[in-house]
Amino acid sequence: MSETRPNVLLVIPAGKEAQQATRAALDLAKARGGTLVALVVLDPAVSTRAASALSDVGFMGEELSEQVEATLRDEYRAGAEALLRALVEQAKRDLTRITPLIEQGDASEICGRVIDAHAVGVAVLVAEKHSWLTRFLAHDAAVQLPALSGCEVRVMEED
Amino acid sequence: MAREREVVVDRRPLWVILAGRSRKTLLTLCGALLYWIVAAMPLPAGLTPAGQKALAAFALCVFFWVLNVLPLMITSLLAIILLPLSGVMQSSQAYALFGNEAVFFILGAFILAACLMKSGLSSRIALNILHRFGHTPRRLLLSIFLLNVVMAFFMSEHAVAAMNFPIVVEIVSVLGLQRRRSNYARALFLAMAWGSSIGGIATLLGGARAPLALGILKEATGQSYSFLEWTLLTLPLVLVLLVSGYQIIVRFFPAEIDSVQAAESALNERWLKLGRPSYSEWAIGLVMAATFVAWIIGGEEFGLANIAIAAVVALFVLRVVSWRDIERYVNWGVLLMYGGAIALGAAINKSGAATWLAHVTISHWASSGMTVVLLTSLVSILLTEAMSHSAVVALLMPVSLGVAHEFGLDPRLMAPVVALPAGLAFTLPIGTPANAIAYSSGYLRIWDLLGPGALLEVIAWLTFNAMAYWYWPLFGLHVQ
């Protein structure tokens, strides 16, 4: 199926370095003659976690919690926009077509939707590396990847 | 075209999957079992039946507080109903402890801080300082550090960190500092988090843990500290942490930039947008200043809580704040948390359970007053890295009063020995909301907090114990 769908999806976790994966995805899109769909998925849990700590442990009112949450949300979006701007420049230099996207929510659900909507044949995923300490403190998995189906998946590590 | 759905088989053992999904239910059952075991065990020598029941309620609440099984304030409510239901104290006594002076002092302080923030006075002070002094990278960093320290003298450290966070984010953003790469960004966020924590231990306003410790102390012994006394007791520790905290930040994270002109312009613009101070800013500023003076010179005569509540009433009389504004800034769970913790502390002290617990625990390891201080402060500082500051005080303060009785120490000594180290969380994001906010910015890695934070923690613990041994005797607090 991937041959009939030339586009390549690059999924970058917000705030992570993914130059190797970016290079690979650009090369792949160029080789397949398709468009690179660059997607940054913002995880809403990141901004709500700090706000919850403020409210549940610091006993602050909702005004301050909302302020912190909004600041974090805006900051992550600004970071994602900057990342995609740089990626668009890089794609232009490489003469590769690119569609930048920023979405917020569940990565698996969003990726599934984007794969269908943009006729994606290959998805390049950036696996977030989590140190043992982060895993211990945040109860996270060693590597986080969205569950994908409907296209070929290539997993690359973050830089 | 329909997408094929893959079937993913989870091959973990069934009990692991079930345990993972029902963690809180299992922990609730474990807590109930713990309560039953302590309440039903044969009565140990030296413990009264009421003491045993109080101890069971204490064990259950500590278990829930440490493992976050229920929200902190709900666990406190549980304590309030367990005490009368198990016959440790009458309902009227238990509920009356919600009206403790310390609870109303905390409430008054939170409302005053809410007024400061709502009026915009706190932001004006912050921007005024930063745009006046932050002309070079070093000076801007120092200004942010000192600003957070000084603001936490007057309002909750958590509020200070939350309030200054958007300012630091804007500075980092206009300077174009890169996430996880920029040393200067790391330094700025650490200065914000550590500054508010260091300032928070300096007065009774920086956090609710010190008033909570004093509330438990007063319920048990009738003794307390004045506002000024507490501030003077903490002074050397605050000074040492100020110097060492700043030095650690600049040495671990030397600035990679030479100019902060973009930040200066942004701060200047924000400062100019504020315009002239409004009537409510002036009124709140004057009421706050008068309240602070009253706490220092008339705190013992008029009572800290009375002064705080009088200041709140004065702000409403001056019509500078509305009740709706206050509700947006104050989390009323604070009353339940501290009321319940004080009731539990009173129950285990008055029933003799605290003395018994001290006898079978710390007394085995400690040989003198100084070792009691060393051990208690160490336990407090370690626990506070993993759980709420207030929960640490609620857990350790009643037991420490029993230890003081066991070793013939002045019980007043135990309030700073528990409450001060309970505010020294510099190492982990879960240690305090200020660390959590700084870490969530995405500019800090966990190791950026861990290494420098552990060093500051060691300096803090050593300084604290040196201060207890050589400085506190000047206030009549002897550790020997």
DSSP B141-165: HHHHHHHHHHHHHHS-HHHHHHHHH
What is the Cα–Cα distance from B267 to B134, expressed in whole angstroms? 9
- Residues of chain A neighbouring B206 (CB-CB closer than 8 A): none
- Please give the pLDDT value at position B336: 87
- Spatial contact of A50 and B437, defined as CB atoms under 8 Å apart: yes
Residue B206: closest C-alpha in chain A: A58
Interface with A, mutate which of B24, B165, B334 (most A CBs under 10 A): B165
What is the Cα–Cα distance from B169 to A23, expressed in whole angstroms? 30
What is the Cα–Cα distance from A123 to A115, expressed in whole angstroms? 8
Within an 8 Å CB–CB cutoff, is residue A56 touching chain B?
A: yes
Within an 8 Å CB–CB cutoff, is residue A112 touching chain B?
A: yes
3-state secondary structure of B342: helix
Backbone angles phi, psi at A7, to 5 degrees: -75, 150
Q: Which residues contact B13 (CB under 8 A, 6 or more apart)?
A: none
- Residues of chain B neighbouring A42 (CB-CB closer than 8 A): none
- Ranges of chain B with pLDDT below 50: 1-8
What is the Cα–Cα distance from B169 to B263, expressed in whole angstroms? 11
- Ranges of chain A with pLDDT below 50: 139, 141-143
What is the Cα–Cα distance from B109 to B160, expressed in whole angstroms? 13
Q: Are strands A7-13 and A152-157 parallel, antiparallel or unpaired?
A: unpaired
H helices of A36-155, where? 44-56, 62-93, 107-117, 132-138
- What is the distance in angstroms between the Cα of A110 and the nearest Cα belonging to chain B? 14
Backbone angles phi, psi at A158, to 5 degrees: -70, 155
Residue A36 backbone class (left: φ over 0; alpha: ψ -120 to 50; beta: rest): beta
- Please give the pLDDT value at position B333: 85
- Residues of chain B neighbouring A134 (CB-CB closer than 8 A): 446
- Please give the pLDDT value at position B1: 38
Q: Which residues contact B472 (CB under 8 A, 6 or more apart)?
A: B233, B413, B416, B478, B479
**For residue A3, which amino acid is it?**
E
Spell out where B169-265 has E strands: none
User: Minimal CA–CA distance to B419: which of B225, B259, B277?
Assistant: B225
- Please give the pLDDT value at position B3: 42
Which residue in this structure is represented by tokens 């759980």? B387
- What is the distance in angstroms between the Cα of A68 and the nearest Cα belonging to chain B? 6
Within an 8 Å CB–CB cutoff, is residue B75 touching chain A?
A: no
Is the CB of A137 less than 8 angstroms away from the CB of B430? Answer: yes
- Please give the pLDDT value at position B2: 37
DSSP B95-150: HHGGG-HHHHHHHHHHHHHHHHHHHTHHHHHHHHHHHHH--SHHHHHHHHHHHHHH
- What is the distance in angstroms between the Cα of B137 and the nearest Cα belonging to chain A? 22
Residue B118: closest C-alpha in chain A: A63
Which of A 1-20 lie inside 8 A of B, CB atoms?
A: 14-15, 17
- Residues of chain A neighbouring B3 (CB-CB closer than 8 A): 112, 115-116, 149-150
Residue B120 backbone class (left: φ over 0; alpha: ψ -120 to 50; beta: rest): left
| Tokens encoding B125 | 């002070």
Report the sign of the C-alpha dihedral through residues A44, A45, A49, A50, in that order: negative
Is the CB of B440 less than 8 angstroms away from the CB of A50? Answer: yes
Is the CB of A59 less than 8 angstroms away from the CB of B331? Answer: yes
Interface with A, mutate which of B331, B335, B449 (most A CBs under 10 A): B331
Task: Give the CB-side neighbour count of residue A82, counting CA atoms within 13 A.
Answer: 16
- Residues of chain A neighbouring B69 (CB-CB closer than 8 A): none
The burial of B126, by beta-carbon neighbours within 10 Å (0-12 exposed, 13-18 middle, 19 or more buried), is given as: buried
Interface ipTM > 0.95: no
Displacement of CA B408 from its chain's centroid (Å): 28
What is the Cα–Cα distance from B166 to B152, expressed in whole angstroms? 17
Residue A72: closest C-alpha in chain B: B441
| Tokens encoding B109 | 């302080």
What is the Cα–Cα distance from A115 to B172, expressed in whole angstroms? 35
Is the CB of A64 less than 8 angstroms away from the CB of B166? Answer: no
DSSP3 helix / strand / coil % (chain B, rounded to 5): 75, 0, 25
- Residues of chain A neighbouring B179 (CB-CB closer than 8 A): 15, 79
What is the Cα–Cα distance from B216 to B225, expressed in whole angstroms? 12
Which of B 323-352 lie inside 8 A of A, CB atoms?
A: 327-331, 333-334, 337
- What is the distance in angstroms between the Cα of A86 and the nearest Cα belonging to chain B? 13
Residue A115: closest C-alpha in chain B: B3
Report the sign of the C-alpha dihedral through residues A83, A86, A88, A91, in that order: negative
